């Protein structure tokens, strides 16, 4: 089974006349269809809202597409808050979920009227010192500890994660917040990453719904929303079956009706903070084969490197590769597909079976629409690529220019040496 790129060899050959490789390109049609399906999956909940995880793909052109479907922004830093504000996203359309948060970032989130999601019980006093008076609506992030299981087995290990309140701290925290004047509450949790199963959200929802009922009964808190956060993943492997978001939404609805409705909490809004699910499949990193090496292994060297896509080097993550124009050929050559960094882990694929790759071939690296460009860096003085949008009508729009040496050296602009750079 193979993944099918959303761009063809002919399209790429036309694109590179204006925008040279490497570049990230995103599929507007796919993004829109997916956002509409998510909205449909949770349409049973009157207050439902998706807060797109800005960290996954911090590009205003792409976020604007999601805003057409009612999405807000999930921010975790000052610059993500600034990006949201610049786009006109403010107030309850921003969820600020961060950890180890500097005071100025809390202050900025408060200025925008964002809903602040506290990561730790000590942040209550910290935030109060910054604001003077806590906002009327607050959220707390929950971490039950231990391992998180579904019927297929262990999904992740929250007990090792640095995030969130313990169960006991949730109850203590809600009581403290009530005493300090907070009137409305939310609960947030992220217990597993990149799950490819329709079970994750319903199982998580049931655990959070049961906690919400207990919190309401024992603290008297007015719980307005429950944020299931992210964790719904995508099938990076070509033979993996993807999540069915309609089935997931229906599974959450059943838990809602089983747990919350009988407890008189049938007006609680459901929130999500999806990033990978919203964007990953709708992004490609397009790169050109520029070198081949025949030593102890067979290597294909690309003009992209881990600066453009860090996940394989950082996690050993699998990203499928298509050699454009050779989709129908047998994958009978084994290669390591590499970049040019002075690090041996700068490899997009190891021992990957592909058609014979010739110099000048264009390679599509799939599923880079989230945590792709966003995780880039400048090691070896490498520069980040451009980002392009394949419009629904087939046009290609530049949505971020490629970096230049001037960008790389910009932070030396307060020193005399800056004047010696030849731009």
Residue 152 has pLDDT above 70, yes or no: no
| Contact (CB, 8 A) for 349 and 366 | no
pLDDT at 154: 60
What pLDDT shows up at residue 176? 98
The residue-averaged pLDDT of 11-28 equals 98
Q: Which phi and psi (to 5°) does residue 227 adopt?
A: -100, 110
Domains present along the chain, CATH in parentheses: 9-24+281-412 (2.40.37.10), 27-280 (3.20.20.10)
For residues 6 and 22, what is the distance between their CA atoms, to the nearest angstrom? 16
The Cα–Cα gap between 106 and 135 comes to 12
Mean pLDDT score of the chain: 96
Read off the pLDDT band of 1 (50, 70, 90): low
What are the backbone dihedrals phi and psi of residue 84, each rounded to the nearest 5 degrees, phi first? -65, -45
Instruction: Please provide the distance, in angstroms rounded to a whole number, between the alpha carbons at the two ends of the chain.
Output: 47
In this structure, the chain runs to a length of: 423
Structure tokens at 261: 């409705």
- Taking the C-alpha atoms of residue 1 and residue 275, their distance in angstroms, rounded to an integer, is 26
Query: Tell me: the pLDDT tens digits for 76-96?
Result: 999 999 999 999 999 999 999
pLDDT for the residue 63: 98
For residue range 386-397, what is the model confidence (pLDDT) as tens digits? 999 999 999 999
Instruction: Summarize pLDDT for 343-372 with one digit per residue, the tens.
Output: 999 999 999 999 999 999 999 999 999 999
Can you give the pTM of this predicted structure? 0.95
Per-residue pLDDT for 249 more than 90?
A: yes
How far apart (Å, rounded) are the C-alpha atoms in residues 280 and 172? 38
| Alpha carbon distance 108, 267 (integer Å) | 30
If you compute the radius of gyration of the chain from its CA atoms, what whole number of angstroms results?
Answer: 23
CB contact at 8 A, 31 and 62: yes
Question: What is the SS3 assignment for the chain?
Answer: CCCCCCCCHHHHHHHCCCCCCCEEEEEHHHHHHHHHHHHHHCCCCCCCEEEEEHHHCCCHHHHHHHHCCCCEEEECCHHHHHHHHHCCCCHHHEEEECCCCCHHHHHHHHHHCCEEEECCCCHHHHHHHHHCCCCCEEEEEECCCCCEEECCEEEECHHHCCCCECHHHHHHHHHHHHHCCCCEEEEEECCCCCECCCCHHHHHHHHHHHHHHHHHHHHCCEEEEEECCCCECCCCCCCCCCCCHHHHHHHHHHHHHHHHHHHCCCCCEEEECCCHHHHHHHEEEEEEEEEEEECCCEEEEECCCCCCCCHHHHHCCCCCEEECCCCCCCCCEEEEEECCCCCCCCEEEEEEEECCCCCCCEEEECCCCCCCHHHCCCHHHCCCCEEEEECCCCCEEEEECCCCHHHHCHHHCCCHHHHHCCC
Q: Which two tokens stand for residue 330?
A: 């047998």
ω into 22 cis (within 30 of 0): yes
Q: Is residue 390 a contact partner of residue 396, using CB atoms and an 8 Å limit?
A: yes
Q: How far apart are CA 2 and CA 166, in angstroms?
A: 43
CA gap 416, 274 in Å, rounded? 45
> φ and ψ at 413, to 5 degrees?
-70, -5
Give the active site residues: 342
pLDDT value at residue 159: 78
């Amino acid at each position: 089974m193979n993944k099918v790129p959303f761009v063809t060899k002919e399209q790429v050959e036309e694109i590179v006349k204006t925008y040279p490789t490497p570049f990230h390109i995103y599929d507007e049609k796919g993004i829109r269809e997916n956002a509409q399906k998510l909205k449909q999956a949770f349409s049973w909940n009157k207050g439902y809202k998706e807060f797109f995880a800005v960290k996954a793909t911090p590009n205003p052109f792409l976020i604007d597409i999601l805003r057409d479907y009612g999405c807000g922004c999930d921010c975790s830093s000052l610059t993500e808050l600034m990006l949201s504000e610049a786009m006109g996203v403010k107030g309850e359309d921003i969820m600020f979920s961060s950890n180890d948060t500097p005071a100025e970032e809390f202050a900025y989130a408060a200025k925008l009227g964002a809903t602040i999601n506290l990561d730790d019980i000590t942040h209550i006093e910290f935030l109060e010192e910054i604001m003077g008076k806590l906002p009327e609506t607050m959220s707390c992030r929950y971490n039950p500890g231990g391992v998180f299981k579904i019927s297929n087995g262990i999904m992740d290990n929250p007990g090792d994660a640095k995030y969130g309140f313990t169960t006991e701290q949730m109850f203590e925290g809600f009581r403290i917040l009530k005493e300090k004047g907070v009137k409305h509450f939310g609960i947030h949790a992220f217990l597993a990453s990149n799950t490819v199963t329709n079970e994750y959200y319903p199982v998580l929802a049931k655990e959070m719904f049961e906690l919400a009922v207990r919190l309401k009964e024992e603290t008297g808190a007015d719980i307005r929303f429950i944020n299931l956060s992210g964790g719904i993943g995508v099938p990076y492997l070509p033979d993996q079956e993807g999540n069915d978001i309609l089935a997931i939404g229906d599974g959450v609805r059943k838990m809602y009706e089983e747990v919350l409705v009988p407890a008189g909490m049938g007006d609680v809004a459901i929130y999500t903070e999806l990033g990978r699910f919203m964007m990953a499949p709708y992004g490609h990193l397009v790169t050109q084969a520029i070198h081949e090496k025949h030593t102890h292994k067979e290597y294909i060297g690309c003009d992209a490197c881990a600066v453009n896509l860090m996940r394989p080097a950082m996690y050993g993550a699998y990203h499928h590769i298509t050699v454009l124009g050779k989709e129908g050929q047998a994958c009978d050559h084994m290669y390591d597909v590499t970049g040019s960094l002075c690090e041996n882990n700068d490899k997009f694929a190891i021992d990957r079976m592909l058609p014979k790759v010739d110099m000048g071939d264009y390679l599509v690296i799939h599923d880079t629409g989230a945590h792709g460009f966003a995780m880039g860096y400048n090691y070896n003085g490498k520069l980040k690529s451009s980002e392009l949008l394949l419009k629904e009508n087939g046009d290609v729009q530049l949505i971020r220019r490629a970096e230049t040496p001037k960008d790389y050296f910009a932070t030396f602009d307060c020193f005399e040496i800056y004047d010696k750079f030849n731009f």
